[in-house]
Amino acid sequence: MRIESKILKFYKDLKNTKMNVKNCIEVILSEARKRDCQADLLLTQTQSTIANARNFEIEKLEESLFSSVTFRLIKDKKVTSIRCDPSADVRRLVSQAYDTLAYIPENEYASLPQNVAVIDDIYSTHTDHNFPDKLKELAIETEQIAHSNGKLKTTETIEFEKKIIKKIVANTNGFSGTFQNQLFSAVVGVVAENEGNLNAGYSYVTSNSLKDLIPAELAAEAEKRAIEGLKPRKIPTCKREVIFDARCASTFLNNFSSFLSGKSVTQSATFLKNYMDKEILPSSINILNNPEGANCKIETPAFDDEGNYTSKCFPLIEKGILKNWILDQYNANKLGLQSNGFAKRTLSGSILPLVTNIYLESSDTYSEKELISRIKEGLYVTSLFSCGINPITGDYSQGVQGLWIENGQLSFPVSEITIAGQLKDVFKEIIAANNIKFFGRANSPSLYLGFMSIGGT
């Protein structure tokens, strides 16, 4: 089937799916009420277009449409959930779910939010049937720029994607929320070679705006990372100062957020359990969720997957002090607190408290170059591999590669090394650079982490 025919069929399928949505929601809630049950549901639709380039031509162009609905029934403190397609016989599925409640133990903390509101949180979305052509142009342009200097051996991956995401949350208490937005993303991977030594370099970005997917920047970063990692050396085991570049620091920040999860707190699975309102980071550091204004590259809904309200610039860490846990309704109930809108439904239908768009800001004014210049000998980390974190003790171990620092300068690439430390100690030493760039759902500037054990040869 020709691409044009596939696209027309795709939009016809999308229209048919929309017709199923309203009926699906009404049936689930009405059937639950008939059985004197509380119920809530999350219905999602994702319309995706992906263009892959290789050897300066489009290798693959894909259009897809995915829809699903997950609903819960709650009665007498018993909970069950089911995930299905919106076109399924949801009346029968509600009946089956209700029957299983007889075999489920009570859970005193199960409940729905008490919010009664109707929220339409709709952002600009494109419905241009010819939009795939733009993605193809960007993918090919990025590969051409990456190879323009003649320093690369091959392309590993160049992928540009556009998604239109629609989410509906509704429950029997009267809450109804609709969120619709578009999301653009790009991943670039290229390979450099020097005397038989190969090294891959990557770049990526995710944003609500296509203008943030800049081929020249994506190509330059991927090329730089591929070339600077060629012919790495091994280093002896030692204890030296460590800096994470911004992308590695962003991953580190995302890992950090798991220690603040309400689920981890209620299960005593975080070493920060007893640190509420205590200083765990330097006073120069704030960690927040959901940026706004110029910093907001990814809009998130005004409500979470249970219907609780979310907040802009929500503080998790304020001037180094732990101020809030990341909570869904269940874990908030268990802790005797109010949910702060972090519920996320997984593909299995379970609900977890997860950050949506976390970032670190600091009153420190050092540039990354200044942080590096202060180090006589140390490690600048550019890639992370297998990670071992004990969330109960805070022991941290991470496979890395990067660049060795000598006399305040980046000197040569290093690989096959592991860094380790106790996170309580690492947190106290953090100094943030002033180079934060928002490119995904976790965003941090480069971070100085102090002295850590470095396992080499």
Q: How would you write the pLDDT of the chain (457 residues) with one tens digit per residue?
A: 343 444 444 445 545 555 567 789 999 999 999 999 999 999 999 999 999 999 999 999 999 999 999 999 999 999 999 999 988 999 999 999 999 999 999 999 999 998 777 777 655 555 545 578 899 999 999 999 999 988 999 999 999 999 999 999 999 999 999 998 899 999 999 999 998 899 999 999 999 989 999 999 999 999 999 999 999 999 999 999 999 999 999 999 999 999 999 999 999 999 999 999 999 999 999 999 987 766 778 888 899 999 999 988 999 999 999 999 999 999 999 999 999 999 999 887 889 999 999 999 999 999 999 999 999 999 999 999 988 899 999 999 999 999 999 999 999 999 999 999 999 999 999 999 999 988 889 999 999 999 999 998 7
pLDDT at 10: 43
pLDDT at 349: 82
C-alpha dihedral sign at 284, 285, 290, 295: positive
Contacts of 241 (CB under 8 A, 6+ apart): 375, 377, 378, 379, 405, 448, 449, 450, 451, 452
pLDDT at 6: 43
* Nearest in space to 280 (alpha carbons), one of 426, 396, 388, 443: 426
pLDDT at 294: 65
* Nearest in space to 173 (alpha carbons), one of 119, 120, 114, 118: 114
Q: Which domains does the chain have, with CATH numbers?
A: 3-128+157-188 (3.30.2290.10), 232-457 (no CATH)
> Which residues share a beta bridge with 353?
343
Tell me, what DSSP letter sits at residue 295? G
pLDDT at 11: 45
Amino acid found at 112: L
Cα 51 to Cα 406: distance, rounded to the nearest angstrom: 42
CA distances from 46 to 162, 241, 353, 370, 382 (A): 10, 44, 22, 44, 33
What dihedral angle (degrees, nearest 10) is formed by the CA atoms of 428, 432, 438, 440?
-30
Number of DSSP helices (H) and strands (E) in the chain, helices first = 9, 20
Burial class (CB in 10 A: 0-12, 13-18, 19+), 335: middle
Cα 455 to Cα 185: distance, rounded to the nearest angstrom: 35
Residue written as token pair 């100690």: 425
pLDDT at 132: 86
DSSP 120-164: EEE------TTHHHHHHHHHHHHHHHHTTTS-EEEEEEEEEEEEE
pLDDT at 5: 47
Q: 107: how many CB neighbours lie within 10 A of its CB? A: 14
Q: Which two tokens stand for residue 303?
A: 């409500």
